[in-house]
A and B are shown apart, each in its own frame.
Chain A
Amino acid sequence: MKKIFSHPVSLRKTSTHYCPGCGHGLCHRLVAEIIDELGIREKTIAIAPVGCAVLAYDYWDFDCTEAAHGRALAVATAIKRVRPENIVFTYQGDGDLAAIGTNETIHTANRGENLTVIFINNAVYGMTGGQMAPTTLLGQKTTTTPLGRQANLQGFPLKVSELLSQLPAVKYIERVSLHSPQEVIKAKKAIKQAFQNQLDNQGFSLVEVLSACPTYWGMPAHKAMSWIKEVMIKEFPLGRIK
């Protein structure tokens, strides 16, 4: 009988530290499956962010480095420039990529570095205990927006993917979600495309992944999925952006 489903070689067999219902674990697995499918495990170098996913190297079974908070794309730029034959990707949260690291994000994209970026948008800072992220929705309560995010005080949710799509050197941007099996399949396709682009020397590719943080959204996992579907997607519409 033909084996059609197995544990990805690129994913270590270990238990997870992520909260129940968290999107990080699911997304790690997608990345691992794709790296197996493309046969690039032995030449992949990942950059883990500062955020809940800092321990990504405990799960991925290929070369990884940490980067200081927000600096993943500076680290990635240098690695790819000195080792262009390797496949280099960053995996970053919205605080990491869109607040403290915005400068690196914009300039790396603007240089058109041949990199793959997995951008996890969970609308909060998970690791530090649920503070406002640049992507936090208007009205959304966090520990630092106890009355809900207000446009006149905290500005609007930052749409990094749309911003970056304006840059001529950016090759590919797509926003996907992990709230249902169908969406997970689409997410995998987009992430695979972002890696394929790098293999084909196409330049900067980014996939924004709407991902649940049930813990700091203050809801059980299944409600978090419906919240993405019914609320979050209205602010962050899915699909190809560039």
Chain B
Amino acid sequence: MKANKILMSGNEAFGEGAIQAGCQFYAGYPITPQNELIAYMARHMPERNKVFIQAESELAAINMVFGASAAGMRAMTSSSSPGISLKQEGISYMAGSQLPGVIVNVMRGGPGLGNISPSQSDYFQATRGGGHGDYHSIVIAPASVQEAYDFMGLAFDLADKYRNTVIVLGDGILGQMMEPLRLSAANQTPQTEYQKPWALTGCKGRKPNIIRSLYLGDGVLEALNVSLQKKYQLIQQEEARYEGLFLDDAEIILVAYGTMSRISKVVVNNLRDKGKKIGMIRPITLWPFPKKAFSGLPAMCSKLLVVEMSCGQMVEDVRLSVNGKYPVEFLGRAGGGVPAEEEIIEKIESIL
């Protein structure tokens, strides 16, 4: 009996994954292509005695997450690109106040209102901070419905572990597509592992707690920034994740994340069947970017090809990682365009 295997969309899997990870608070505002997620939370959070709020805007939603997180709860919001832009101020305040929180971005085409087709053009916004100030969110990119589910547990754990915001970066394809999903309780981390003595609970039996990001005293804000940078360094050392395919003998290495890595994987397997030495690196965390994956490439590797549903964003991190040692080619499509298998193969043939 396969009782624990069900068919779900990526958007629903984000929601169920969050609930299994102990999410206690969700606030969101409708936007396509993530509407199944807010609807899932509206139905299933109250059912399990957790708080769901349809906020009046993305601004309100992220600041509600700020509040619930300040009160010590596992809290999340979700949106798609235009809504995520609105959340940037709140994410920056959470970074300054060192509040954990999870933000799901089911990316769509931009800039502006753009369209509702899948895209990966918010990579810069997600990995560089996105709002004001020197900060980073941890960015995780699932590539399947199973990972959409599994990575929510990871996201909440990393958020609590580092008192940091975590962005789970998907796209319209991942959000909408349905795949079989194995549900597990393995996602659930015991809350006791992450004590939150800083949380606002009322000051009974202790000194008052204050959550703030304003520091006017001489050098105080600089000191906060120095300690944030130390935290970010630690995260870079400890949390970079990637998946490698055929990296021991690859002559050309594809680099892709999320949905694009699914399509690229098909390309790699098909070309391997034809005897072509193609490999692949799939960053799982986009920040921290898995630089290590690019340090021990095989001697026969002559080129890398980055494939994105954007005009070229992650390609910059790949170039920084190989630091001039290998030529880095790029194939991308924008505004809802998705590089197809044949386009990728054509590109590979042109650079072989």
Chain A positions within 8 Å of B, measured between CB atoms, are: 41-45, 47, 54-55, 57, 60-68, 71, 74-79, 81-83, 86, 103-104, 106-107
Which residues of B219-237 have CB atoms within 8 Å of chain A's CB atoms?
none
By a CB distance below 8 angstroms, the chain A residues around B93 are 66-68
Q: How far is the CB of B29 from chain A (nearest CB, A)?
A: 11
By a CB distance below 8 angstroms, the chain A residues around B55 are 74, 107
Given contacts A66-B212, A82-B25, A103-B57, contact A71 B70 (CB under 8 A): no
Task: Specify which of B53, B57, B73, B210 is in contact with A63 (CB 8 Å cutoff).
Answer: B210
In the complex, which residue of chain A has the Cβ closest to the Cβ of B99? A65
Asked whether, in the complex, the Cβ of A86 is within 8 Å of the Cβ of B202, the reply is: yes
Q: Mark B51-87, 1 if CB is under 8 A from A, else 0.
A: 1010111011101111110110101000000000000
Asked whether, in the complex, the Cβ of B212 is within 8 Å of the Cβ of A57, the reply is: yes
Asked whether, in the complex, the Cβ of A63 is within 8 Å of the Cβ of B90, the reply is: no
Task: Specify which of A43, A60, A61, A77 is in contact with B67 (CB 8 Å cutoff).
Answer: A77
Asked whether, in the complex, the Cβ of B27 is within 8 Å of the Cβ of A66, the reply is: no
By a CB distance below 8 angstroms, the chain A residues around B209 are 63-64
Q: How far is the CB of B326 from chain A (nearest CB, A)?
A: 43
By a CB distance below 8 angstroms, the chain B residues around A61 are 203, 208
Q: How far is the CB of A42 from chain B (nearest CB, A)?
A: 4
By a CB distance below 8 angstroms, the chain A residues around B70 are 65, 75, 79
30 residue pairs bridging A and B, Cβ less than 8 Å apart = A41-B203, A42-B205, A43-B202, A45-B71, A54-B214, A55-B214, A57-B210, A62-B208, A64-B209, A64-B211, A65-B200, A65-B211, A67-B66, A68-B93, A71-B66, A71-B90, A74-B60, A74-B63, A75-B64, A76-B67, A78-B65, A78-B68, A79-B68, A81-B68, A82-B73, A83-B71, A86-B71, A86-B202, A104-B59, A104-B60
Task: Specify which of A43, A78, A83 is in contact with B53 (CB 8 Å cutoff).
Answer: A78
Asked whether, in the complex, the Cβ of B64 is within 8 Å of the Cβ of A63, the reply is: no
Asked whether, in the complex, the Cβ of B71 is within 8 Å of the Cβ of A68, the reply is: no
Q: Is the interface of B mostly helix, strand, loop or mixed?
A: mixed
Asked whether, in the complex, the Cβ of A71 is within 8 Å of the Cβ of B60, the reply is: yes
Given contacts A44-B202, A45-B202, A104-B60, contact A79 B97 (CB under 8 A): no
Interface size for chain B: under 10, 10 to 19, 20 to 34, or 35 or more residues?
35 or more
Task: Specify which of B25, B56, B63, B75 is in contact with A67 (CB 8 Å cutoff).
Answer: B63
Question: Cα distance A79–B59 when bound, in Å?
Answer: 16
Q: Mark B188-226, 1 if CB is under 8 A from A, else 0.
A: 000000000000111111001111111000000000000
Question: Cα distance A200–B89 when bound, in Å?
Answer: 35
Question: Cα distance A47–B213 when bound, in Å?
Answer: 13
Question: Cα distance A67–B51 when bound, in Å?
Answer: 20
Is B20 an interface residue, CB under 8 A from the partner? no
In the complex, which residue of chain B has the Cβ closest to the Cβ of A111? B53
Is B24 an interface residue, CB under 8 A from the partner? yes
Task: Specify which of A42, A71, A82, A106 is in contact with B203 (CB 8 Å cutoff).
Answer: A42
In the complex, which residue of chain B has the Cβ closest to the Cβ of A81? B51
By a CB distance below 8 angstroms, the chain A residues around B59 are 71, 74, 103-104
Extra pairs beyond A62-B202, A78-B64, A86-B202 (6, CB < 8 Å): A61-B208, A63-B201, A63-B210, A65-B97, A66-B93, A104-B56
Asked whether, in the complex, the Cβ of B204 is within 8 Å of the Cβ of A43, the reply is: yes
Asked whether, in the complex, the Cβ of A68 is within 8 Å of the Cβ of B68, the reply is: no
Given contacts A68-B90, A71-B63, A75-B66, contact A81 B210 (CB under 8 A): no
Which residues of B22-63 have CB atoms within 8 Å of chain A's CB atoms?
24-25, 27, 51, 53, 55-57, 59-61, 63
Question: Cα distance A107–B57 when bound, in Å?
Answer: 10
Given contacts A64-B208, A64-B210, A104-B60, contact A78 B201 (CB under 8 A): no
Task: Specify which of A42, A43, A79, A104 is in contact with B71 (CB 8 Å cutoff).
Answer: A79
By a CB distance below 8 angstroms, the chain A residues around B27 are 78
By a CB distance below 8 angstroms, the chain A residues around B65 are 78
Best-surrounded residue of B51, B67, B97, B202 (most CB of chain A within 10 A): B67
By a CB distance below 8 angstroms, the chain A residues around B213 are 66
Q: How far is the CB of A118 from chain B (nearest CB, A)?
A: 17
By a CB distance below 8 angstroms, the chain A residues around B71 are 45, 78-79, 82-83, 86
By a CB distance below 8 angstroms, the chain B residues around A62 are 202-203, 208
